Amino acid sequence: MRSGPLASTRVAVDLVVLTVRDDAFQILLVERANDPFKGRWALPGGFLQEGEDLLETADRELREETGLTGVDLWQVKAYGHPDRDPRGHIVTISFLAVAPRLPSPNAGTDAANAIWQPVMNLSSGQSKASPPSETVGLSPGPKSHDAVSSVMLELAFDHYTIAADAIEYARGKLEQTNIATAFCPPEFTIGDLRHVYELVWGYTLDERNFSRKVLKTENFLEETGGYRGGQPGRPAKLYRKGCATKLRPAMLRIAEEQGHAA
């Protein structure tokens, strides 16, 4: 049955921390302090420790490397290719962390350098010949803002793949769950929520149809009774997330790929 274990295998956790900041869909990256890939940008993460469950490791690493606590976490996928890390055979489990706009990434103790980057600035290490490197952010729809301003970032290890998978996971969850509310502060307007969808999916949605969809779903949103003024225009009602976590039928997004069933 079970063959002999391989003692040299180690287990790690990597975090894909996403937020909406500066009118863009962004990911948290840390600069690697040690070899391999010293100085390169990478996902925050670290090794499983004695007596820890995977989720505890994810929570601890998030706190240690970024100072964030109480963030919603979703397990996404495991990666175990023997050559994915030059230090040896390291199996890593990726977690998606979604947080509302945050004070500053440098609050962390461990990672001297942590930055938020628009996901569309990520580049697959596969610098093929001619065309501009494929990017995660480009896939859905036309890019909105300052465009190709920043430099493309090539991540360490297979972190581009891990990030791309988690981002696609998040985009899919937006269709079927209330995960978008995790990008918002506790109280938010329907416009805030729609803005999350628009930035994550990369195209604009009809505000009337969006409102109808999220308001018609029972217990999806809950009125706080408050309003947000201060800007020109009619004040918007404030909501908090309701107890219903699923959106059925789904909020449909524009299909693009014809992926594998997995």
Residues of this chain that bind DNA (CB under 7 A): 189-191, 206-209, 211-213, 215-216, 229-237, 249-252
103: contact with a copy of itself by CB under 8 A: no
Shortest spacing between CB 213 and DNA, in angstroms: 5
Distance from C-alpha of 106 to C-alpha of 28, rounded to nearest angstrom? 11
Tokens of 83: 């050559």
Span of 2-10, 120-128, 154-162, 228-236 interacting with a copy of itself by CB under 8 A: 2-10
In this structure, are residues 177 and 193 in contact, taking their beta carbons and an 8 Å threshold? Answer: no
Out of 111, 163, 167, 184, the only residue in the binding site for a copy of itself (CB under 8 A) is: 111
State which residue, 84 or 228, has the beta carbon closest to a copy of itself. 84
Beta partners for 228? 236
Binding mask 126-165 for a copy of itself (x = CB under 8 A): ----------------------------------------
Per partner kind, with CB cut-offs from 5 to 8 A, the member of a copy of itself, DNA, none near residue 115 is none
Burial 47-78 (b: 16+ CB within 10 A, else e): ebeeeeebeebbbebbbebbbbeebebbebee
Beta partners for 95? 15, 75
Per partner kind, with CB cut-offs from 5 to 8 A, the member of DNA, a copy of itself, none near residue 103 is none
Out of 21, 32, 171, 194, the only residue in the binding site for a copy of itself (CB under 8 A) is: 32
State which residue, 135 or 178, has the beta carbon closest to a copy of itself. 178
Interface residues with a copy of itself (CB under 8 A)?
1-12, 30, 32-34, 44-54, 57, 65, 72, 74-75, 77-82, 89-91, 93, 110-111, 173, 177-179, 243-246, 248-250, 252, 255, 258-262
